[in-house]
């Protein structure tokens, strides 16, 4: 928790120096909500008028793949924009929303390729999870962790080394292995910090509900959840950018290098 707190504070300092960059996780979140809504109403409409056979697994998994692909594309597009802006800041250059968006557009094909690749992996994991019972869930949890670790640097690698998905995954894993060792685990966590944030938010929302108005309390909780998600997303993306650029030590990255060097430890 202590290391997670220190890393989060460092990332927040970067965000504080570039407050406009918070727009990227906001845009990502809003767009994802629009996608979820469109899928929900689309499926509801289709069920009402044409009917989707719930036993048609091809259709179901096809929709899951499509949802994953669109979601990955949106998240990576805006995360790449944020990473590029933090890179400019680390170089001592001026960062702006337009520069981040334009950079992501310049990598649009690579982003789309990654979205298809990641959606394929995600759908395959989902199929295994649905069809292998409790053992499958255990196996998928291990594979999911391995996937998260192997792709930790995937977005900056795609952005600056212009690699296709499989090569980007290999390169991301190589960076992790060469910097921290053959078998690593995360040496930081935001889980407890996030839990504390939700606890404080929940207490505040209950107090407002009891003392003022229930609807206002619910609204406060909903807005608070969104804010926590946005800030957490920004923090994680900034950390990935800082860690990636810390590998070659060729930038004054305005980030505690000791914390970056200790992100992972050998298992």
pLDDT digits (tens, 9 = 90+) for 52-83: 555 567 778 888 899 899 999 999 999 999 99
Number of neighbouring beta carbons within 10 Å of residue 66: 14
User: Are the beta carbons of 157 and 247 closer than 8 angstroms?
Assistant: no
Q: Is the pLDDT of residue 45 over 60?
A: no
| Amino acid 1: pLDDT | 63
Closest CA to 180 of 84, 261, 99, 71: 261
Q: Could you tell me what percent of the chain has a pLDDT over 70?
A: 84
| Amino acid 105: pLDDT | 95
Pairwise CA distance, residues 247 & 245, whole Å: 5
Sign of CA dihedral 61, 62, 67, 70: positive
DSSP letter string, 126-163: HHHHHHSHHHHHHHHHHHHHHHHHHTTTHHHHHHHH--
Pairwise CA distance, residues 13 & 7, whole Å: 10
pTM over 0.75? The answer is yes
Q: State the burial class of residue 224 (Cβ atoms within 10 Å of its Cβ: 0-12, 13-18, 19+).
A: middle
Pairwise CA distance, residues 247 & 253, whole Å: 11
Alpha helices in the chain (DSSP H): 2-17, 23-49, 57-90, 97-106, 108-131, 133-150, 154-161, 165-180, 191-211, 214-246, 257-261
Pairwise CA distance, residues 203 & 197, whole Å: 10
| Amino acid 182: pLDDT | 60
Domain boundaries, the chain: 2-266
Q: What is the DSSP letter of 22?
A: G
Pairwise CA distance, residues 99 & 104, whole Å: 9
User: Are the beta carbons of 180 and 265 closer than 8 angstroms?
Assistant: yes
Main-chain phi, psi angles of 153, to 5 degrees: -105, 15
Pairwise CA distance, residues 234 & 14, whole Å: 10
| Amino acid 257: pLDDT | 73
User: Are the beta carbons of 68 and 119 closer than 8 angstroms?
Assistant: yes
Q: Is the pLDDT of residue 113 over 90?
A: yes
């Amino acid at each position: 928790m202590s290391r997670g707190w220190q890393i989060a504070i460092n990332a927040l300092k970067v965000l504080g120096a570039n407050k406009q960059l918070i727009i990227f996780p906001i845009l990502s979140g809003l767009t994802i909500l629009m996608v979820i809504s469109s899928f929900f109403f689309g499926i509801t409409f289709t069920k009402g008028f044409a009917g989707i056979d719930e036993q048609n697994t091809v259709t179901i998994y096809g929709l899951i793949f499509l949802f994953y692909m669109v979601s990955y594309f949106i998240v990576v597009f805006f995360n790449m924009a944020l990473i590029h802006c933090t890179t400019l800041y680390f170089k001592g250059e001026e960062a702006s929303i337009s520069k981040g968006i334009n950079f992501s557009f310049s990598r649009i094909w690579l982003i789309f390729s990654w979205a298809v690749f990641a959606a394929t992996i995600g759908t395959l994991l989902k199929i295994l999870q649905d069809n292998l019972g409790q053992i499958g869930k255990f196996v998928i949890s291990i594979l999911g962790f391995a996937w998260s670790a192997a792709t930790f640097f995937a977005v900056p690698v795609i952005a600056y080394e212009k690699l296709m998905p499989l090569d980007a995954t290999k390169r991301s894993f190589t960076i992790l292995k060469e910097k921290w060792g053959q078998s690593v685990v995360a040496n930081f966590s935001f889980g407890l910090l996030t839990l504390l944030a939700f606890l404080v938010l929940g207490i505040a929302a209950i107090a407002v509900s009891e003392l003022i108005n229930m609807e206002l309390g619910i609204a406060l909780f909903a807005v608070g959840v969104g804010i926590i998600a946005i800030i957490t997303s920004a923090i994680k993306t900034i950390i990935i950018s800082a860690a990636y650029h810390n590998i070659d030590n060729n930038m004054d990255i305005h980030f505690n290098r000791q914390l970056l060097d200790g992100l992972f430890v050998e298992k």
